[in-house]
Chain A
Amino acid sequence: MKKNLLKNAAVQSLIASLLCIVLGLLLGFIVLLFINPSGAGEAILAVVKNFWNYSRANLQAKNFGNTLVKTAPLLMCSLSVLFAYKVGLFNIGAAGQYVVGSCACLYAALAWHWSWLPCLLLSIVVGGVYGAIVGLLKAYCNVNEVISGIMLNWIGLYTTNMLLATVKEPTSPYTLHLKTDATQAMLPTLGLGKLFSDNGNVTIAIPLAVLIAIAIMVLLDKTRLGYELKATGNNKNAAKYAGMAEKRNIILTLIIGGALAAMGGAFLYLTDFEQWSVTQSSVPGMGFNGIAAAFLGGLNPIGTIFASYFIQHITSGGAFVDLSKYSSQISDLISSLIIYLCGFVLFIKYAINMGIAKSEEKAKQKAAAADEKGGAK
């Protein structure tokens, strides 16, 4: 019975993901040991504990809220990656789509004083258009989506920096605070903030992201569109043979993917939890972490909800590492090590299957040996 359970694909995914997490923590621990053995145990514990590092309940709740605030955009990015992946496309451009989404909503909020809903919708449209560029290039010019995606990531970053420089604080590289300059554009909290000891950044973005994850699952599994898109992803030729509009499907997929990632940007910046720095010279990691979250979640929309949370939990937890013992980059290093290991889910799954085959073999040999002995008597 136990054997059968292990052979179940869903159970395997879960075990593989958990193993990845453990391995990632272990690797992080080893690296910490090398740098400074005296604080390694404490440091890794601090990362895992994240908001529990605070002893006061209200601070715990507030920081739990903060982790959730950043989980929502990550979840959106990983849904973007996952969705495209199911259709056979690797949407590395999610990172750039996230960036232009952030740009669109911030600019509309600060320059035009739009309220939150139109800001959010603008992000979605801009992200969709940005995704469509990749889709059009792929469908009509056969340009690999990874190449064009990476290029557009950079184009997006610098365009954003340029545009948002017009709405930044005069004395810093950061964009203006919505709280002070554009309250109308803040996402409504609907009283959710109260649950996290008045954390004003906890907004409808969080439940919305979860709902969208469920919607994506329904779309993929239950609808005609999902059937078509997955068929295209699994066997392009068969999809063509069956009269599916292959080019349209590729473009549509990247439009949806772009819209999802861009919505992620809006889900973060319309909470005013962070300000955009117009001097940043690397594409934010949110989209890339989305790739890890998608795989860690077993490429299942519900799985990615938990995976995104976990990755954000570790990332936020990194801030609690004792900086008197380690340099300030350590938190990023540890969380990226763990995220890196998350990409090994498929490999671990394979290892599990090999393990099962081997142990069955052994059991068989034992049984055979026992038989022979029995026969000899």
Chain B
Amino acid sequence: METPYAIEMLHITKRFPGIIANDDITLQLKRGEIHALLGENGAGKSTLMSVLFGLYQAEEGVIKKDGKEVTIHDPNDANDLGIGMVHQHFKLVECFTVLDNIILGVEPTKHGFLQKDEARKKVLALSEKYGLQVDPDAIVEDITVGMQQRTEILKMLYRDNEILIFDEPTAVLTPQEIDELMKIMKNLAAEGKSILFISHKLAEIMAVADRCTVLRKGKYVGTVETAKSSPEELSAMMVGRNVNFHVDKKPAHVGDVVLDIQHMTVASKTHKKDAVHDVSMKVRRGEIVCIAGIDGNGQSEFVYGLTGLEPLKSGTITLNGKDISKASIRQRSTSGMSHIPEDRHKYGLVLDYSLEDNLVLQRYFEQKFTDRIGFLRRDNIRKYADRLIDEYDVRSGQGPVTAARAMSGGNQQKAIIAREVDKDPELLVAVQPTRGLDVGAIEFVHRKLVEQRDAGKAVLLISLELDEVMDVPDRILVMYEGEIVGELDPKTTTQEELGLYMAGAKRDEVKA
């Protein structure tokens, strides 16, 4: 008898040192359905998918494909079974072109020579068919995350996979790109491909998924049909309580200027045109200012210039009355600037260091953590780490000694937030701070940002997330093509108006 299931994962158990990441989990994926996987940070979603993709071996349980039991030792086995995966943190070769990345491992050859033309035709055909626009000859490190994502998807499709796993594909995308991706996923499902989709965004799950399986702390909670469910029910299943989706905050008490940027210009690495052009703005004590905009409009370079990762071409930055335009990163940090970086793996963490060592990454040199002759004060570091782990609910297998690499994506992010907020900065620069966090954790981070503000600190939020932009800040500055094109009051503006500014259809003179 033919089963309706393309994939069945039955009673899967996977242990890591100190933690059961998957505890007797069953997941059945019907042919042609989009099946969402939901759960808090560290609930075991990525682990479960990695078991299916052959990256980990489960200690217990069986996997069936079309009703037949299969063993998947490694991603090659998965590939042979038609299973493809887009990882939470992309796995592309940065210095290769898009095309080379797509065909990597399955290069068509004739007499040992690469046949790239054939491959290019197939890639272009796929790209056209599914509306996945990529430039096959661009080098991966030069393209936007959105295009990197499309490259990853093309990689799966190029291998004729019929079971597609998307691990948090939308965390790094702009709202426009998310809409596109949703459409693509629906097309793929309509063609009979079966999709597993991980996301923390309930609206997305409600919009595309047919069914949703919820995990909590490694255990199976249940599977529901989204049509018969609601975001409230899902979030209650996931965290065991109701989540407040709205940010509560008292009116702002704005004080002195903390950050004053005048005529800042930052060169672009890839183009002749400056990435940030003549930007002036101020952030005061007790306010949260948000820089909104579509990804790639100079926000990243703006942050690099502000935090010292890239030099300024011209302009001045003043922090608390002190000119820091030419100051080193360390000087800026000790003068009271904290920075939650956009890319947690590239900048935010030393993945091979333990969690505790990562938690002191910005302060290891302080007297509290290093004695006078230069030895680290391990016991103080441990105590400090224990406190942050507890306060910020950073979950991991072995606590402070867990390697950062072995932590779930969301918990890595929470560790960075803990480190930067606890530094008690005068100015907190938070770039996409809630990327990859579950709803409970997002609520927590937003509360922390508001707490900073209420404690009289200045907060500069850079976000691509429309809900966040509308909800959290006291003032919105819109950045378009490297310039500030509008200042909006979140209380009076609408998403539509914001959208017009972000798309460059509307602009005002903004003076700082």
Contacts and interface: CB of A to CB of B under 8 A. Distances in A.
Interface of A: 222-225, 227-228, 230-231, 234-235, 237-245, 357, 360-361, 364
Contacts of A228: 364
A244 B374 CA distance: 15
B339 interface: yes
Given A240-B309, A241-B341, A243-B330, A227 B375 contact: no
B420 to A, nearest CB: 11
Interface stretch (B202-210, B316-324, B343-351): B343-351
A197 B307 CA distance: 65
B329 interface: yes
B333 A223 contact: no
B364 A237 contact: no
Contacts of A227: 357, 364, 376
Contacts of A242: 329, 333, 361-362
Interface of B: 57, 59, 71, 73, 307, 309, 328-333, 339, 341, 346-353, 357, 361-362, 364-365, 370, 374-376, 378
B364 A235 contact: no
A242 B59 CA distance: 39
A360 B341 CA distance: 41
Task: From A234, A243, A360, A361, name the one whose CB has the most chain B CB atoms within 10 angstroms.
Answer: A243
Contact of A238 (B347, B374, B375, B378): B347
B288 to A, nearest CB: 23
Contact of B375 (A222, A361, A364): A222
A361 B57 contact: yes
A360 B57 contact: yes
B358 to A, nearest CB: 9
B333 A234 contact: no
B361 A223 contact: no
A234 B350 contact: yes
B350 A224 contact: no
B328 A224 contact: no
B346 A237 contact: yes
A256 to B, nearest CB: 14
A298 B376 CA distance: 24
A63 B68 CA distance: 67
Contact of A241 (B309, B364, B365): B309
Contact of B365 (A224, A237, A240): A224
B375 A231 contact: no
A243 B364 contact: no
A159 to B, nearest CB: 35
Nearest to B59: A364
13 contacts: A223-B374, A223-B376, A225-B374, A234-B351, A238-B346, A238-B348, A238-B349, A238-B350, A238-B361, A241-B307, A243-B332, A243-B333, A245-B330
Given A227-B376, A231-B350, A237-B346, 9 more contacts: A222-B375, A224-B365, A224-B374, A235-B349, A240-B329, A243-B330, A243-B362, A361-B57, A361-B73
Contacts of B351: 234-235
Contacts of A241: 307, 309, 329, 339, 341, 347-348
Task: From B309, B347, B362, name the one whose CB has the most chain A CB atoms within 10 angstroms.
Answer: B347
A132 B361 CA distance: 27
B362 A224 contact: no
A230 B351 CA distance: 12
A315 B331 CA distance: 52
Contacts of A231: 350, 353, 361
B309 to A, nearest CB: 7
Contact of B376 (A224, A240, A245, A364): A224
Contacts of A223: 374-376
Contacts of A364: 59
Contacts of B341: 241
A377 B255 CA distance: 79
Contacts of B332: 243
B350 A222 contact: no
Contacts of A234: 350-353
Contacts of A244: 330
A244 B350 CA distance: 13
Contacts of B346: 235, 237-238
B50 to A, nearest CB: 14
A231 B365 CA distance: 13
B370 A224 contact: yes
Contacts of B330: 243-245
Contacts of A239: 350
A222 B374 CA distance: 9
B376 A243 contact: no
Nearest to B308: A243
Contacts of B364: 224, 227-228
Given A222-B375, A223-B376, A227-B376, A237 B347 contact: yes
Contacts of B59: 364
Given A227-B364, A240-B309, A240-B329, A235 B57 contact: no
Contacts of A237: 346-347
